[in-house]
Amino acid sequence: MLGVLVGLCVFFSFITFEEQQPVGKSGAERLVETIEAEFSDLGSVILVGRNGDEGRAFTESLNQRLGKDGWEVRAMVNGGPPDLAKALREAFEGNSTVSLMACEQAFSQLPLLETMRKANPAIAEMRVLYPKPYGWPNFLKTSNLLNVANQIAVIAIIAIGMTLVIVTAGIDLSVGSLIAFSAVLATWMIREWMGGPEATALGMFVGCLLAILVCGGLGLFSGSMVAFFGVPPFVASLGMMMVASGLAYMLSGGLSIYQLPESFDWLGRGDDLAGIPNAVVLMILLYFLAHLLMSRTIAGRYVYAVGGNSEAARLSGVPVKRILLWVYAGSGALAGLGGIVMASQFRSGDPKYGLMYELYVIAAVVVGGTSLSGGRGKVFGTLIGAFIIAVIQNGMNLTGVQSYTQKVVLGLVLLAAVLLDMLKKRGWKLSS
């Protein structure tokens, strides 16, 4: 699966390769290199960028670098053609001259600039430089890769619990509805009990923790149905899916809950660690802990034993019922955590969150190599499976593939993964 993931990254990198226009701070750095190479004598300069975060970062970085080198910054413009025209008229009043206009590429091709050059010979003598374009895949842009990781974080987190459930030869269809219920319950408690928009960090933490614990309790109930009453996991989790969805709509009245503090988006949108989204950091930490649990602890070995042969495991002294209880409880709690992350990403709670997510989670687990018949699977394989799905979706978005076509492709990927699992289980060879 790791080879498949690498292959997909190479494929989408190849088909999304195109000319890139440097922007922001990186664009300013490339332009400074060009200016230093082409100008031996310093002079005056006008800095021009768009009116946005990247445009301001571009002009501010140029202002710091060129000002430090000794250039006279005559004007710094962030806006559109009218703002540039006004700055040029002011800069060339009287007999003033400007050596250079350092700008983003879009400004260098404005008809306005050509018109003003014809009207004023001094403007015609002004050099215009912009960051030189370069070739690079859109898929491999840092912003796109971080976006892929951030978008898959919720699915990947929930897939940890689903991996444990499927390793025990079970299934949990309730995780999508638990996402919605957790998001609604947490935001409802913050709004009603913790002060709403004025809630403190402690109040938000308590509300989110209670929502996760309640979801864990619902998962525990599903597990008890399976462990003590022999209810098929499919039926038990299907019933809980309907219960959780209904509770989310009852609690919210079918409406979004958005009366939350601005800081509520810290988990879903923050990036405190070297620009890596906090949700991605949480995902990596959880996978590391889950790997230790499954590979280095007795409890992890018990999970594999239950999935391999529950009766043999029971006769060997494995507490089968207890294992099933905490596996389903853990799946519910992780679904609740996924709901908190999603609520933080959108800064609201909505009963429609998590729609069809149980299918994406199961797909990530199966594509990652976990056997639906139980007994085999690794959490890092699930992480790779989640990224395979995310990369396929992102690559199709970048290449303009329509949404319903994407569903067909993802469905075929899931079927292929299940088929390979069955072939491997039966000892068939693909060449036969």
Q: What is the pLDDT of residue 21?
A: 85
Amino acid type, 137: P
How far apart CA 386 and CA 161 sit, in angstroms, is 13
Domain regions of the chain by residue span: 22-132, 142-425
Amino acid type, 413: V
How far apart CA 185 and CA 309 sit, in angstroms, is 38
Q: What is the DSSP letter of 79?
A: S
Q: Give the CATH number of domain 142-425; options: 1.20.58, 2.20.28, 1.10.3470, 1.10.357.
A: 1.10.3470
Give the CA distances from residue 78 to residues 29, 66, 84, 250, in Å, rounded to whole numbers and listed in that order. 18, 17, 8, 49
Burial 12-33 (b: 16+ CB within 10 A, else e): beeebeeeeebbbbebbeebbe
What tokens appear for 417 in the block?
């993964």
Regions in the chain scoring below 50 on pLDDT = 430-432
How far apart CA 321 and CA 182 sit, in angstroms, is 26
Q: What is the pLDDT of residue 428?
A: 56
Q: What is the pLDDT of residue 9?
A: 92
Amino acid type, 189: M
What global pTM score does this model have? 0.86
User: Cβ distance 258 to 345 under 8 Å?
Assistant: no
Please state the φ and ψ torsions of residue 127, each to the nearest 5 degrees: -75, 145
How far apart CA 217 and CA 376 sit, in angstroms, is 26
CATH topology for the 22-132 domain = Rossmann fold (3.40.50)
Helix (H) or strand (E) holding 46: strand 44-49
For residue range 65-109, list pLDDT tens digits in order: 998 888 999 889 999 899 999 998 888 887 778 889 999 988 888
Give just the sign of the alpha carbon dihedral 252, 256, 262, 267: positive
Could you tell me which of 161, 150, 175 has the C-alpha nearest to residue 382? 161
User: Cβ distance 84 to 48 under 8 Å?
Assistant: yes
Helix (H) or strand (E) holding 27: helix 24-38
Q: What is the pLDDT of residue 427?
A: 66
How far apart CA 198 and CA 270 sit, in angstroms, is 19
